[in-house]
Copies of this chain bind each other. A is one copy, B any other.
């Protein structure tokens, strides 16, 4: 599928950071940035640019509250570097710490929000836009928040934000391709002047096919991660997506190198991918936390117990 408007965003370090408490060393992040850039990927999301004062006592590596210095260390000097993106959570950023875009090492800010937080998200997006950043709004848990509030949120994103793209985020990995068709058609009733984006999770091995379905339906901003690394079941794999897209600017080989050199060993130490409790959570449309918890304990392979607990919780 060749369509010039398509933009691929690699969010390996950002979504993958949810697997290892954002604790990648700078050399690793730099290798991934170099590989993703060499592959011709459009954006590289290096982490969350939240502010540490909102996480008192929490332990995490540098990519949850990226400093401009960290971002520079990992990205400066890389030839033909991809544009650098950061994600922010509503209400978790001290805006006084944010420099204007022309004095910072990142280009794009993506504001992640549930439907209910959309007013705050738009206000935040507007601040970043005024500071000169490219912006997107990423509507999370889109399989759960399906009431009329979703229509209202999409309408507001269109009318009140300056975001260049509004992302539909299948946080729980529960959508099927038919759902993607309906969801994009619904979004297009409200969002006409802006691009749409899609971010999938792979609980049901559908992140890639749902991304393809999004493309077919006209979505142009696509998230993926190297070897699918991301929270719980992970994401659409970047190597599959680049292989599917026919734009000659993409070259999958630097991504294959990263999988060989870094992600096969990393997968030995941290788990993501097709894991039965995550599959069950995806089938049932649940937040991944319960499955993440069960994977840490002695019942990690007791799938029937997890299935029965989750289904009975739903039928209360």
Which A residues are within 8 Å of any B CB, using their own CB?
176-178, 202, 204-210, 212-213, 216, 228, 237, 239-240, 243-244, 252-253, 256-257, 259-260, 264, 273-274, 276, 279-280, 283, 301-304, 307-308
A174 to B122, CA, bound (A): 41
A244 touches B212 (CB 8 A): no
Rounded to whole Å, the gap between the CB of A3 and the closest CB of chain B is: 14
Is the beta-carbon distance between A176 and B256 smaller than 8 angstroms?
A: no
**Which residues of B sit under 8 angstroms from A206, Cβ to Cβ?**
208-209
* A240 pairs with B204, CB closer than 8 A: yes
Given contacts A177-B212, A239-B279, A283-B243, contact A302 B260 (CB under 8 A): yes
Q: How many copies does the complex hold?
A: 2
On whether the beta carbons of B208 and A205 are closer than 8 Å, the reply is: yes
Give the Cβ gap from A130 to chain B, nearest Cβ, in Å: 41
**How far apart are the CA atoms of A237 and B276 in the complex, in Å?**
11
Which 6 pairs, one residue from A and one from B, show the smallest C-beta to C-beta distance? A209-B209, A256-B303, A243-B283, A260-B301, A205-B208, A256-B304
Quick check: A176 and B212 within 8 Å, CB to CB?
Answer: yes
| Measured CA separation A301–B259 after assembly (Å) | 9
**How many angstroms from the CA of A280 to the CA of B237 in the assembled complex?**
13
Contacts of A210 in B (CB 8 A): 209
A122: shortest Cβ distance to chain B, in Å?
34
- Chain B residue with Cβ nearest A240: B204
Q: Select from chain B the residue with minimum beta-carbon distance to A216.
A: B178
Q: What CA separation (Å) do A177 and B178 show in the bound complex?
A: 12
B177 x A304 contact (CB < 8 A): no
Contact check, B244 vs A176: say whether CB atoms are below 8 A apart.
yes
Whole-angstrom CA separation of A57 from B260 in the bound complex: 37
Given A177-B177, A264-B301, A274-B274, CB of A256 within 8 Å of CB of B205: no
Partner of A205, one of B237, B260, B301, B303: B237
Q: Is the CB of A303 within 8 A of B259?
A: yes
Known contacts A301-B264, A303-B260; A208 and B216 CB within 8 A of each other = no
Q: How far is the CB of A265 from chain B (nearest CB, A)?
A: 10
Give the docked Cα–Cα distance between A176 and B241 (Å).
12
Which residues does chain B contribute within 8 Å of A177, judged by CB atoms?
Answer: 177, 209, 212-213
**Sampled A-B contacts (15; CB under 8 Å):** A177-B209, A204-B243, A237-B274, A243-B283, A244-B283, A253-B308, A256-B276, A256-B280, A256-B307, A257-B303, A259-B276, A259-B303, A260-B301, A260-B304, A274-B274
Known: A205-B208, A253-B304, A256-B307. 14 other contacts (CB 8 A): A177-B177, A177-B209, A177-B212, A177-B213, A178-B216, A202-B205, A205-B240, A209-B209, A228-B274, A243-B280, A244-B283, A256-B303, A259-B276, A259-B303
Which B residue sits closest to A283, measured CB to CB? B243
Contacts of A216 in B (CB 8 A): 178
